[in-house]
Every structure is written in structure tokens, then in C-alpha cells.
Amino acid sequence: RSPDTGRQNASTPEPGQLLFHSNCGQKASIINGGRTALRPQYVAHPSHVIVSPLSSATDDFNHGVVLSNRPLQNNEVFQVRIDKMVDKWAGSIEIGVTTHNPAYLQLPSTMTNLRSGTWMMTGNGVMHNGTTILDEYGHNLDRLKAGDTVGVVRREDGTLNFFVNGIAQGVAAWNVPPNVFAVVDLYGQAAQATILDETDALPLPGDEDEALALTPGTPCTMQSLSDLRFHHLHGSNALITNGGRSALRNNSRSEFNDAIVMSSRPLRDGELFEIVIQKMVDRWSGSIEAGVTAIRPEDLEFPNTMTDIDYDTWMLSGTAIMQDGNTLRNNYGCDLDSLGAGSRIGMMKTTRGDLHYFINGEDQGVACTGLPMGKDIFAVIDLYGQCVQVSLTGGSGLVDNSLSASHVTDKSLPSQSPVPSVSHRFHTVCGKNISVLCDGTRVERNGGYSHGIVFSSRELLTNETFEIRVEKLDPHWSGSCHIGVTSLTPHDTALLAGGLPERAADLRSKVTWLVCGSEVTRNGQRLRENYCNSLERIRVGSRLGVRRDSDDTLHILMNGEDMGPAACGIPKAVYVVLDIHGSITALSTLSSSLLEESDATKPPSISSESEEEEEAADHGDPHTVLQADSLQFLANHGKNILLSHGNRTATRVSSYNQGIVVLAQPLPRLFLFQIRIDQLSPRWTSSLSIGVIAVSPERLNFPATAVALKRSSWIFQRSAVLCNGVKIREGYGPNIDLCPEGTCLGLLLDSSGGLHLYVNGLDQGVGAQDLPEVCYVLLDLYGQCEQVSIVTGEVQGAEQDTHEGQLPGEREKADMVDGVKESLCWVPPDPLALLSCEYLALCTRFKDLLLLPDGYFVEDNKLCVCHCESCHKLRGDEIYRKRGDPPREYAEPIGWCSFPLRPSPRSSCSQYKKWHIGYQGSRAGTIRRTLDRGDLLPGSTCILTSVPVKSDPQNSFPAAEPNLLHSRDLQSVVLSPTLRYAALQEMCPKVMFRDPRSQRTFGAQVALQVCVRPGSYKTGPPSACAIDLMDPRIPSSEIEWLTKEKGATVLKSLLVRVE
């Protein structure tokens, strides 16, 4: 809905012009008769206004609050234009309403500090009384530029709506009281704004189209000048609309042929049959084919393409003139494959039997001769490949040449032809309780309350709204319909086990987004709560709509009101899906398919290759698309960034933020892009963030940090994944903040749109799904990270440059050395670099508090290993290993730090390699005695020798299974192949200590990693706790080891864990 909706008309009493109130923030001024507010302090003089030299918008970023001079009336739009901005600050204009009268209000420094009666839109969130009530709402105000407009309106039903550049952002708040004042906060970058009235407002959507439709000479004004139409008989994928004057190909992204259309009558000699190309898609190779035939439509069995006809047919395909499927001549004067939207194609049969073609009104000369003189000749158009939609222009000599292209390859010219529309329809594939009626425009549920899934008949195009109306309700049921989109095609439902599920929420074989009640879900997982008014409140006559915008966001419309973005990252090929559930029993479609709103109007790429060649090129060598040595950072970047070394190195030269850099080239699919962390500073906390954005970075105004990117961004930060600044996944990969200097990080987009993070050449798996086709790599040099360099394509050894950009599975056998693949990128960091891990440092400080002699430990600190989750993932270690003869599996000490002990001089190191690895929990107070002895203390296991409670015969409990530990003596030693058991509280009690560095109190445990001679111990179930699945890989029957033999164990490492 336009923001001008509800403006006062001439018959409405004038309530007084909307102006800014004279009481404003201490750094703001009101000029231009109350219509303009600005943040630099102004000093009034009798004759003019001058800027005070003591203050400007670059000196302060707040105290710029201004209010309207009177309350807003219901449905009255308050709209301002941003006149001036500064680039010094973060944040920008904020707008909203308040119940406070500006005459009596002591204005705060920023309006979000007001704690009563205030609703404000800030960034892309909405705040009520200083508290955020909507996180993801509408366009981000921080990204607006000078000249952009923002508006606010309170509707008579108490809802509050905002507008950005005249576009409604949806309902932001409910139950807003009447008589509220408009508020503008000239915050941060916003320095000046002016109130717009009716004379300043932008034209309503469609005004330009209406004016163009009335322009003399446009094709739509000449429809009555010719009786030529398209024939009602046509190919199976063709559709005739607009009274026979327009033709289009259905399912243009999944079907490329079977769309032949013909003229409604034979052509007269000298009569020009001319069409204009209205829509094209860039999915296929080849394009429109045009010609004539002596076959009547009633006698023709329409083939896949007209060049398959082997009699009485003359066609122009590309540059080739063909007769009866055979090429007569090549290199005719025009190339149909090079024409784009807006180009006109005409055909004329002369009295001599010659066929001429006209391109944009220009005669291309004789194409062929010898057309039969005594037969009727019909015009033929084959909507093939890239060409989707055409319309007749009006006929011979009556065509306005204003659309003439200056070059036949121009594909960007708009068409002023009449706009055909086709009612949206439901697909015949549906739930078992659904009946599809009225030629697919109405659906009804016949029985039960479920099995009511229905799909749209074709894919939802970009910026296209699919709207339905509720026709019937059954009050016997509760619940309501669900609406959304799915990447599952209706025909693929036949492949589902058991067919369509009972509910749309169970459609999970492909990605499905649904709005259920007021929640937004993705494959059944909740994405958002309180997104909109609950769908359970809709009644007969209520309207629901769904739209996929060009920024890949999903929008839901309720009774025409846009509820704002519901989800992001929506792929192109999605179908509308509805679940007619509960009380809703019948729906009908209201909307029509307007192909001119589709992304199918994008200029197609010129290609004469076959479809197979095109696909081969898409999946070929990535280097044919993007050369690794051409990669560089874009010149547009954060203000604290300095580029060097041919823009392949980025350095943050000051502060801790404003360090965003973007790759200049889009990231191709299946191409591994890699950077190296060159320099870290201990002055700051946190570190690098890396990800992609799906908007062009050329003129992007970068925020202070990547987290502030609220549109089409996917960022890896620490061990989380963020989409548009919102965390969508936790615990992914290593903690990037702990990556030391020399770490190599990489990004890869797989063929299905999944984003992968690589750390030192190791794939961390899919972090985000369904990303758009065009994405740009983004880095945020934040906090500790001060410098990074692009290393994709750098030579490291003889073969390195031949491997960059390849997937691990694409490496040749020659790249294998001793059965182990070489690293895909920079060599992993030196183990000593991992000593920068703060957790390892904390565990080391606790070990020092134990006052253990250094002589017991190896001197090389590089052998100390941190097994925290981040360090473990950085090294790419396995969670389980096998060792010994025969091999036995044990679990790595995840979450612990290992301090290797000096090997015993009485045993050779080589013999330990054939021993098994086990763990024993210990007390901090007995570690020194164990190390002094050089072997496990039998006395330390007394806590483990407790016998399990015997069964109670009175209660008929079964007796416990015999346990081999029942009969052990005090000389027995208990071990385990996993610390999940060995580190239980009974075996490994926790001690509290105060960290000497941070002065915080922590709990710590100690354990020992030992080598155990094979055959010297027995295995059994756990005796210190109930039998349960303590480790997913270690059987419960083998989780406890018992040994009595002296010399059967050798101390290997001291383990420390701090919580």
C-alpha cells in the first residue's frame, strides 16, 4: 500500500499543516518554516540562518530529536526525506510516534531512551519504550542515503506501519493509542530531514505505466487497427491471453519447447505480421524462431519445435533460414538468438512469393523465395528457449518505431505492450482430501481436518504475489491453514515414501518454509515467533498472500498488508504450498500471473551453445570462470582498512572495528577461496569474521561490524553462523577467535547453494543452505585480527598452483604421498602457535599451582596439547583412535589439556606403540605421590572398590549380573578407554581454585593417560555408576578395565580440565 493512502482530500477539514515543533533536541534546529530539521546547531539572525562554528553534525551523533507540531490523524502519513548525511558515525535516522506532547517533553539525547508511550523504528528493528519488540522488520534504516524517504502512519485499527521510499514495511505494532505525535531522531549519520507533503510525494505505483499506456503510438493504442490475433490452437506449453494478442510459454524455467503459436488467419500479400518480445529467461540456449507455414492450424499436430516439420514450412532459427527442417542458407542478415526484450520481429510475404523479415522495423532483405502462390500462408512463432512471451504490435505499417533498438543485441529495452494476466491456479497434485475445482482456481477439503496440502500450478516468480481468499469455514475444527513456499516440485511428491504427508509441516525432503499460526518454520524448525497476526484468526473473506522478493526474502501479506520479511535465503525455484487444515475448508485464488514482474525479465546471456554444452561449462574447471591470481579485494571497504600488495592484503590501521573488506569478484560455485591470518594484536578481544553477502558491494555503505549487516548476509563468527545478523547455528566448526597467526580460512559454495567453511584445508561441513547464485566473500577484520592476505593461487611447492580452487575429491592420485593427501592450502600453523589458546593457558596455570617438579615433564612445550573443542577442530583430529597390538579403540580427551610426562628410562619408547591407551581419574592431592612412584598408586583406587547394592529379594528385584570387580583386592587398578567414565565425580573429584591472573574461581579435575600392556587387564561393565550408554562408541560391557599385574601400566600424560 502506498504511503499516500489516507492523505487528506479536498473535502476533509484541514487539521493544520504538519510541521516540526519548535521544541527540539539541544543539537537540532528547525528551519524552512518548520518543514526542515537538522542536527548542526544553527544560530538565527534577522535576515538569515548561519551555521555556528562551534558545532556540526560531525561533532556529535545524538541530541537530534524532533517531533511533529500536532498529533497525527488516523491514516495520516508522516513522511520525511533525508536531505544530508555524514559518514563519521554509525547508525542513522530513526522514526516513530509518541504519546508525549512536545510542548511539555524534556527531550532525551535519543528517543529510544524514552521509557513510556513511544514506538520507534531503528535500524531494521522496532522498539517500544526502549525495548526491542521486533528484531527483523523491514528495510534497514542505517543503509539509507540522502534522498531516501521514511514514513510512519497509525491506522484507525490501532496498528502502526512504517514506509521506506514509499514501500510499506508491514505492521510494526498493535494497539497504538490515538493522538500520537510523529518523532524523527536525527541520529548518527542523518544530519538533515524535510517533511514531505502531497506535492512532494513520489507518484503512486503504476502512475508511470498509466501515463505510458496513454502515449500515442504505443502498441496498445493500435489494437483496433488490425484483426490479426493468435490462433486458439497452439502447442501444449503455450498460453494465449489478452484477447488473442499475447502468447506466453508456461513453466518457462522447466520447459523450453512445445510452445508454437500461429496467426488466427492467413497473411495477405504485403501484410506485415509483427510481434514484440516481452519476456525472456536466461536459463536456456537458443531463442525465438519465426516463419510461415502453408499448414492450417486445424490440420497441424503441433510438434516440439517448428523446425521438426518436414513440409510446407519456412522458418528463421538464429541466423539460419530453414525449409521443411533443412537449412537453405546461413548467416542471414539478423540473428534471432541475439534479440532481447523490447525487440520487434516482423514477417511479410510479397506478391512475388518472397519472404522478408523485419527487425525493429528494418527490412533484412529476402530470406527465401518460392512460397506457394495458391495456398494460405499462416505466420508461425515458436516460443523456444530463452523467449517466454510476445505480443502483437498492430500490423502492417502502423507500428511506432520508438522501440527501435540501436543494436540488435540490446536486450534491455522495455515494452509498452499490453500486460496480459493469467489467474493463478492450484496444481492437480494435492492431498487426498482435496478437490481442485473451477479450472484450478478453487480448492475444497472434503473430509477430515488434515491431508489438505495444495501447491501452486507453477513456480513463484520474483516479486510475484500469490494471493488466496478464504471461502468456507467449519467451526467444528480448530486450527487454520498454513502458507509458505517449498523447493519440492509437485511432480516429485510421487517419489515420497507414502506420498504426500498428512501435514505440510512434514514436507522435509526438500526445504520448506511455512507460516503456522504466528510462527515461521523451516523444515519444521522454528525460525521466528510472533511474526504476524495469528492465521487462526482469519475468517471467510480474509485474504492471504505470499511473495518472494528480489532480495531472496519471503513475505506474507494479510488482507493486502505486508507483514515484512518472514525468512531469507529463499531460492528461485519454489512453489507456493498451502495446508488447508482445521477450520478452513475452501480457498480460491485472487491473484494473476504477471510475468513482467518476474526475474524472467532479466536480460538473457547470448548463447548459441547446446544445452549440454552450457551445463558442461557450468560444471567445468572453476579456473575458466575465475583465475585465482586475479582475486583481489574491492576498493570499497571499511574506513580503517588499507589495501596493499595488489589489493590482495588488507590491514586494519586503527581502532578495533570499521574493518570490513569484500572480494571484488563474485564467488563461483565449487571454487575454494582462501585467506591467511597474517597479524593478530593482543590489545583487543574477539577476532576475524568471514562469510558472504548477496548484494553488490560496489556502492555498499559498510557498517562498523559485519554483524550489523541485516540483509542477504551469511557470516561465520566465533563458532556460530549468522544470517542477516541473527544467529542461526551454534557450535559450528572451531572458534575462529582462537585461530592463531598463519591459520588459513576458506569459503566454498557447493552446487546446491550450501556454504562451507574450511580451516587449514579441512571442510567443516555445510554452515548455511540455499544461498543465492551470486555471492561476494566478506571479511571483518575485527578486534585482534589486524591483517589478512589472499592465498588462493599462491605457489607453495611445485604443484600448489595447480590445486588451488579444487575440491578435495578432485585431486589426482599423483597428489597423494604415502596414501595421505597433501594440504589443500597453507600448511597448518606450528603447534607452538596453538599455545595462544586461552584455555591451555588457564590449565597451565592450574598445573603450576600443583607445584609439580618440572623434571617429571618433557621440556618441549610444543608437545603440550590442548584438546578444547576449538583446538581439536583446528588440528582436524579424530574423536576416536585405535592403538596397540591387537588394536583397541579409545576416545581422545576432548575438553582436557595434555602435559606429556618424561618416559621411563627402564622401557623403550618403541614398545609403548604396541600398548593400549587408557585413562584413570585421580585426586589433585595424590598426583605428586603417583609421579614420585612412577606408577599408578593402588591406594588411589579405593574409592572405586565399592560393591554395588545387592538385590532386594522381598521386592523381587533380580540379582545384579556378576561383576569381575566384586572380588578384586586393594591392589587392583581401574582404568577406562574413555574419560566420560574415568572422569566421573566418584573417581575424579573436582577441586576449586582461584586463577592468579583473572582472580576468578574455577573447578578443576586431573587424570592420567597411561599405556596399558595388552593382555594384562580384563574388561567389564561400569561398577561406579548405573549401566548406561556412557560413550556412543565404547560398548558398556568394555568400558571398565581392571588390572592387577605390576608393571602393566606406564604413565604417559597428565590431563587437566578446568570448568
* CA–CA gap between residue 526 and residue 522 (Å, rounded): 6
What pLDDT is recorded for position 907? Answer: 58
- Contacts made by residues 981-985, CB under 8 angstroms, sequence distance 24+: 981/1022, 981/1024, 981/1025, 981/1030, 981/1031, 981/1039, 981/1040, 982/918, 982/919, 982/920, 982/921, 982/1007, 983/919, 983/921, 983/1007, 983/1057, 984/921, 984/1024, 984/1025
**Closest C-alpha to 591, from 467, 679, 486:** 467
Confidence of residue 1027 (pLDDT cuts 50, 70, 90): low
**Cell of residue 287, nine digits:** 531463442
pLDDT at position 826 over 70: no
- Torsion sign across C-alpha atoms 952, 955, 958, 960: negative
Confidence of residue 602 (pLDDT cuts 50, 70, 90): very low
- Which amino acid, 69? N
Listed in sequence order, the residues at least 6 apart from 49 whose beta carbon sits closer than 8 Å to its beta carbon are 29, 31, 42, 43
Beta strands in 448-495 (DSSP E): 453-456, 465-473, 482-486
DSSP H or E segment with residue 1055? strand 1049-1058
What pLDDT is recorded for position 612? Answer: 37
What pLDDT is recorded for position 601? Answer: 36
What pLDDT is recorded for position 82? Answer: 93
pLDDT at position 91 over 60: yes
Kindly list the distances between the CA atom of residue 777 and the CA atoms of 608, 739, 763, in Å, as whole numbers in the listed order.
32, 19, 17
DSSP sequence for 144-156: --TT-EEEEEE-T
Domains of the chain: 29-196 (2.60.120.920), 210-403 (2.60.120.920), 423-593 (2.60.120.920), 627-829 (2.60.120.920), 836-947+966-1058 (no CATH)
Strands 673-680 and 689-693: unpaired
**Closest C-alpha to 496, from 481, 507, 483:** 507
Cα angle 621-622-624, degrees, rounded to a multiple of 5:
75
Residue 409's SS3 state is coil
Residue 300's SS3 state is coil
What pLDDT is recorded for position 539? Answer: 87
What pLDDT is recorded for position 955? Answer: 44
Cβ proximity of 290 and 316 under 8 Å: yes
pLDDT at position 698 over 60: yes
Confidence of residue 226 (pLDDT cuts 50, 70, 90): low
- Torsion sign across C-alpha atoms 335, 337, 343, 349: positive
- C-alpha 198: how far from its chain's center? 38
pLDDT > 70: percent of the chain: 79
* CA–CA gap between residue 707 and residue 715 (Å, rounded): 8
What pLDDT is recorded for position 908? Answer: 56
Confidence of residue 41 (pLDDT cuts 50, 70, 90): very low
Residue 869's SS3 state is helix
Q: What is the pLDDT of residues 634-657, one digit of tens each?
A: 989 999 999 998 899 999 999 999
Confidence of residue 839 (pLDDT cuts 50, 70, 90): confident
The average pLDDT across 851-862 equals 86
* CA–CA gap between residue 720 and residue 713 (Å, rounded): 14
Cβ proximity of 496 and 515 under 8 Å: no
**Cell of residue 119, nine digits:** 514506538
Cβ proximity of 183 and 111 under 8 Å: yes
- Which amino acid, 682? P
pLDDT at position 677 over 80: yes
**Cell of residue 919, nine digits:** 585413562
When comparing pLDDT for 1029 and 672, which is higher?
A: 672
Q: What order of strands is seen across the sheet that includes strand 519-522?
A: 426-430, 453-456, 575-579, 482-486, 512-516, 519-522, 525-528
Confidence of residue 203 (pLDDT cuts 50, 70, 90): very low
The average pLDDT across 875-891 equals 84
Residue 539's SS3 state is coil
Most confident range (mean pLDDT) of 190-199, 221-230, 466-475 is 466-475
* CA–CA gap between residue 892 and residue 875 (Å, rounded): 13
Q: What is the pLDDT of residues 433-445, one digit of tens each?
A: 898 888 788 999 9
When comparing pLDDT for 15 and 199, which is higher?
A: 15
**Closest C-alpha to 849, from 639, 958, 995, 716:** 995
- Contacts made by residues 438-447, CB under 8 angstroms, sequence distance 24+: 438/588, 441/588, 441/589, 442/471, 442/586, 442/587, 442/588, 442/589, 443/580, 443/586, 443/587, 443/588, 444/471, 444/472, 444/585, 444/586, 445/580, 445/584, 445/585, 445/586
Per-residue 3-state assignment (H helix, E strand, C coil) for 253-294 = CCCCCCCEEEECCCCCCCCEEEEEEEEECCCCCCCCEEEEEC
Confidence of residue 823 (pLDDT cuts 50, 70, 90): very low
**Cell of residue 807, nine digits:** 575440491
What pLDDT is recorded for position 341? Answer: 87
**Cell of residue 694, nine digits:** 548477496
* CA–CA gap between residue 1031 and residue 919 (Å, rounded): 14
Most confident range (mean pLDDT) of 38-42, 43-47, 385-389, 884-888 is 385-389
pLDDT at position 697 over 70: yes
Beta strands in 361-445 (DSSP E): 362-368, 378-382, 387-392, 422-423, 426-430, 434-437, 442-445
| CA atoms within 13 Å, Cβ hemisphere of 940 | 26
What pLDDT is recorded for position 97? Answer: 96
Per-residue 3-state assignment (H helix, E strand, C coil) for 693-748 = ECCCCCCCCCCCCHHHCCCCEEEEECCEEEECCEEEEECCCCCHHHCCCCCEEEEE
Listed in sequence order, the residues at least 6 apart from 316 whose beta carbon sits closer than 8 Å to its beta carbon are 289, 290, 291, 322, 332, 334, 336, 357, 367
- Proportion of the chain in helix, strand, coil states, percent, rounded to 5: 15, 35, 50
Confidence of residue 94 (pLDDT cuts 50, 70, 90): very high
Q: Which of 373-382, 587-596, 951-960 has the lowest mean pLDDT?
A: 951-960
- Which amino acid, 501? P
- Spell out a b/e string for 155-173, using b for 16 or more CB atoms within 10 Å of the CB, else e: beeebbbbbbebbbbbbbb
Q: What does the CA dihedral 599, 603, 608, 611 come to, rounded to 10 degrees?
A: -10
Q: What is the pLDDT of residues 760-811, one digit of tens each?
A: 888 888 888 888 888 999 999 999 999 999 998 653 333 333 334 444 434 3
**Eight-state DSSP code of residue 447:** S
What mean pLDDT, rounded, does the chain reach? 79
Confidence of residue 16 (pLDDT cuts 50, 70, 90): confident
pLDDT at position 724 over 80: yes
Cα angle 760-764-767, degrees, rounded to a multiple of 5:
130
Q: What is the pLDDT of residues 604-637, one digit of tens each?
A: 333 333 333 333 334 333 334 567 778 899 989 9
DSSP H or E segment with residue 611? helix 611-618
Work out the number of other CB atoms within 10 angstroms of the CB of residue 84.
16
pLDDT at position 152 over 90: yes
Residue 19's SS3 state is coil
